[in-house]
Amino acid sequence: MSRLRKRVAVLISGRGSNLQALIDAAVGEGFPAEIALVVSDRPDAQGLQRAERAGVASRVLVPKELGGRAAFEQALEQALREADIDLICLAGFMRILGADFVGRWQGRLINIHPSLLPAFPGLDTHQRALEAGVKLHGCSVHFVDSGVDRGPIIGQAAVPVLPDDEPDSLAARVLTAEHSLYPRCLELICLSKIQLLEGGVKSTSSAPAESAILANPDRL
């Protein structure tokens, strides 16, 4: 990834609010990435409209119509190559990618998850957080590996859990944090300030503020 602005593909399945946050960040002066492609596994995903409004190329690849996961991932790989993609961001992409695909994109494939991993991997994170009685909840950006929501963590942002919270109100608060955290983590990766090493993630920045940004949501 030697080019000045990395070409990023965003994979979605739904409304695409994190896609919008990445698009908005990428049009900012000096941002080191451009959103070059949006791929959805659902033709009715609202995020496709966001891509169209932003003038970003999009593709719809439906696994069932293509003949299953292997054919889907082959078509996805071809679309990524044709768009000359450097990095992939999963943003509400509700499909598990196969180990071979993940292995080919190791260190260049990231995801955002609505919990403070390793707590509450998988689905229904906000309901589970409330049931557990946690006082802090949040979101995590991580490199994708062969596990589900288990890859090395790049950055996290925490939000308080309020006494009268319900899943929807907590989800809204976490989503606001996601929209700040995801672009910031993408920026740091594109600037080579975050690297995936064996056994974890290393920050190559010497500036204390960079560490504070990832540790403290108030500094996002």
> pLDDT by residue (tens digit) across 42-83?
999 999 999 999 999 999 999 999 999 999 999 999 999 999
54 vs 148: which has the higher pLDDT: 54
Task: Give catalytic status of residue 113 as yes or no.
Answer: yes
pLDDT at 28: 92
Percent of the chain with pLDDT over 90: 83
43 vs 212: which has the higher pLDDT: 43
**CA triple 62-66-69, angle to 5 deg:** 80
pLDDT at 214: 46
| Mean pLDDT on 182-189 | 96
> Are the folds of 1-95 and 113-220 the same?
yes
pLDDT at 217: 41
Fill in the DSSP letter of residue 155. Answer: E
| Mean pLDDT on 112-133 | 96
The one catalytic residue among 113, 126, 137, 142: 113
Packed helices 208-215 and 167-190: angle between N→C axes, nearest 10 degrees: 160
| Mean pLDDT on 113-140 | 96
pLDDT at 203: 75
For residue 62, give Cα distances in angstroms to 10, 65, 75, 110, 210: 16, 5, 10, 21, 39
Domain 113-220: homologous superfamily in CATH: Formyl transferase, N-terminal domain (3.40.50.170)
DSSP 165-184: --HHHHHHHHHHHHHHHHHH
pLDDT band at 205 (very low <50, low <70, confident <90, very high): low
Q: Which residue has the tokens 């940004």?
A: 213
Give the domain ranges of the chain.
Answer: 1-95, 113-220
**Rounded mean pLDDT of the chain?**
91
Alpha carbon 72 to its chain's center: 20
Q: Which residue has the tokens 């309020």?
A: 162
Domain 1-95: homologous superfamily in CATH: Formyl transferase, N-terminal domain (3.40.50.170)
CA distance 27 to 111: 21
DSSP element (H, E) containing 195: strand 194-197
pLDDT at 211: 41
How long is the chain?
Answer: 220
Percent of the chain with pLDDT over 70: 91
